Amino acid sequence: MILVLGGTSDSLKICDLLNKMGKSYILSVATEYGREISKKYCKYINVARLDKYGMIKFIKQNNIETIVDATHPYALEVSQNAMDASYENNIKYIRYERSSSNILEHESIIKVNNIKEACNVANKIGENIFLSTGSKNLGEFVKNLKNKNIIARVLPTSEVLKSCEDLGLKAHNIVAMKGPFSYDINKSLYKFYNCDLVITKESGIAGGFEEKLRASIDSNIKTIVILRPTLDYPEKIDDIEALSGRV
């Protein structure tokens, strides 16, 4: 049995491949929303935020032989737990991560290592700041972007919208849409909200990352990109088809 750790659109493409290969697998996601969007792809879905020991228990209970980790590049704790659990259970661990983009070298792109650095730079150069970083760390941006107008693009779920309201964001500060987004949508939103700065994460070529950056470049808007953190993965691939010879 294979355990696929989801959280990105790529995990659903991995499910498609495993279905074609006739492999038995369980997809694990963190939220009910994750379950909803996964239903048409796979039969067995586990909804839980597993820590290391929860993962070890799950592996034993379900006879897991391989973990395919397709979680978000910034979900370091989950990936580390999965690696530790695979090591303790002596099973295979494969990390799938999207390849990055050469567009990061453009002169209008400012690369930083974390949210604190992003806010420090943004406080100096931005006023109407478009946040395309998701809702998980939104509180850190709201706290550290001083006297700025924030436009946060987030998932359109009641839970996320409530968290935005709890942070003090009003309707004019929230863009509730599900991506990925095209170049034209990004460019139109930047113009509509009169943005002078975009903050995003290095999510990789797939998932609309390049479209986001190209739209900001062509709009003469600077973009702060929070670079991916890294872990020492025992095995890492950036091509889903490469799983064919590994699971």
**Domain covering 2-97+230-245: architecture:** 3-Layer(aba) Sandwich (3.40)
- What mean pLDDT is reported for the chain? 92
Q: Are 104 and 78 in contact (CB under 8 A)?
A: no
Rounded Cα distance, 150 and 147, in Å: 9
Cα-based angle 158, 164, 168 (whole degrees, multiple of 5)? 135
Output phi, psi for 81, to 5 deg.
-60, -40
Q: Taking 90 as the threshold, does the pLDDT of residue 75 lie above it? A: no
Rounded Cα distance, 54 and 169, in Å: 35
pLDDT at 208: 83
At 153-201, the pLDDT tens digits run: 999 999 999 999 999 999 999 999 988 899 999 999 999 999 999 999 9
Q: Taking 80 as the threshold, does the pLDDT of residue 27 lie above it? A: yes
Selection from 4, 221, 189, 224 nearest residue 93 by Cα: 4
Q: Are 28 and 48 in contact (CB under 8 A)?
A: yes
Domain boundaries, the chain: 2-97+230-245, 102-226
Sequence-ordered strand ranges (E) for the chain: 2-5, 25-29, 45-47, 66-69, 92-96, 109-112, 128-132, 149-154, 174-176, 197-201, 222-226, 236-237
Cα-based angle 183, 185, 190 (whole degrees, multiple of 5)? 95
Q: Taking 90 as the threshold, does the pLDDT of residue 207 lie above it? A: no
- Do 2-97+230-245 and 102-226 have matching folds? yes
At 107-152, the pLDDT tens digits run: 999 999 999 999 999 999 999 999 999 888 999 999 999 899 999 9
Q: Six-digit token pair at 56?
A: 């070890």
Which CATH number applies to 102-226?
3.40.50.620
